Amino acid sequence: MQKFILSEINIYPIKSLGGIILKTAMVEKRGLRLDRRWMLVDDENKFISQREYPQMALIKVEAGVNGLKVSHKKYFGESIFIPFNNHTVEEIEVKIWNDVCLAQLLNKNYGSWFSKILGIKCNLVFMPDGSIRKVDTKYSNGNEIVSFADAYPFLLIGQSSLDELNSKLSAPVPMNRFRPNLVFTGGNAFVEDKWKKFKIGDVEFECVKPCARCTITTVNQDTAEMKKEPLATLSKFRKFGNKVLFGQNLIHKGEGVIKIGDELTILEEKIDI
């Protein structure tokens, strides 16, 4: 009997900035606690990301007891503290892809700091508990909500899937190119494609849609350099229609603590039609 073990837990408190590796995490209604609850927006209140601004990869985020410490990986001494008890300027509507939802516009000093560091005009917003952004009903049970993540509360990738990709690359890439929330060991490459439902601890997860990959996968998260790989190679063997697929988007049922070393119990597999 194959064993599947949770080997990585990652959160990205500020959308498209650096991630944080955790040993344990709390699964809440929107996903992992603190995951993508903050976001940078442009003058039209539309989200900005590494797709257009790869320099965002160089912004490091750390979570403390009272807030987030944000710093630049290369410009030492350039840092800012964002408390969890946010100082709200006003409530505004923000745009993430085709979605519009309410967010709190935070103190303009934060926006000024990010604007200076990134070289682009932007503001920082926060998603309060009262803001409801629903998961696409085509791929949900109708009631699931999500943070400022692209579309789903979780992204899952098997370590074997990355190993298979790296076996085809001249220069292997780390898992952080794909920005997953959950990584597991065990099984063959892309075994997660076959799963429908699984459980970690008391939380049940459902694989609802393969993840279509974009140019963020080509951004080196340590240098912000943007090249063709690994997307070019991935497109040669993971292209379905006009999309390159890698990893599984998840919704979930229940809340609870998950931790590194937990076993993934497969409850149901997809039926090939």
List the alpha helices (DSSP H) in 129-230. 159-166
pLDDT of residue 39: 98
The per-residue pLDDT for 153 is: 98
Instruction: Name the token pair of 22.
Output: 């955790």
CB 106 within 8 A of CB 125: yes
The gap between the terminal CA atoms of the chain, to the nearest Å, is 25
Per-residue confidence (pLDDT) for residue 273, from 0 to 100: 45
Look at residue 122 in the predicted model and tell me its pLDDT.
98
Q: How many CB atoms lie within 10 A of CB 132?
A: 11
Q: Per this entry, what is the length of the chain?
A: 273
Instruction: Look at residue 258 in the predicted model and tell me its pLDDT.
Output: 98
* pLDDT of res. 29: 97
Q: How many CB atoms lie within 10 A of CB 99?
A: 16
Q: What is the mean pLDDT of each run of 10 residues along the chain (273 residues)?
A: 95 98 98 98 98 97 97 89 87 97 95 96 96 92 93 98 98 98 98 98 97 98 97 98 97 97 97 66
Is the pTM here over 0.85, yes or no?
Answer: yes
- How far is C-alpha 94 from the chain's CA centre? 18
**Ordered domains of the chain (ranges, CATH):** 5-269 (2.40.33.20)
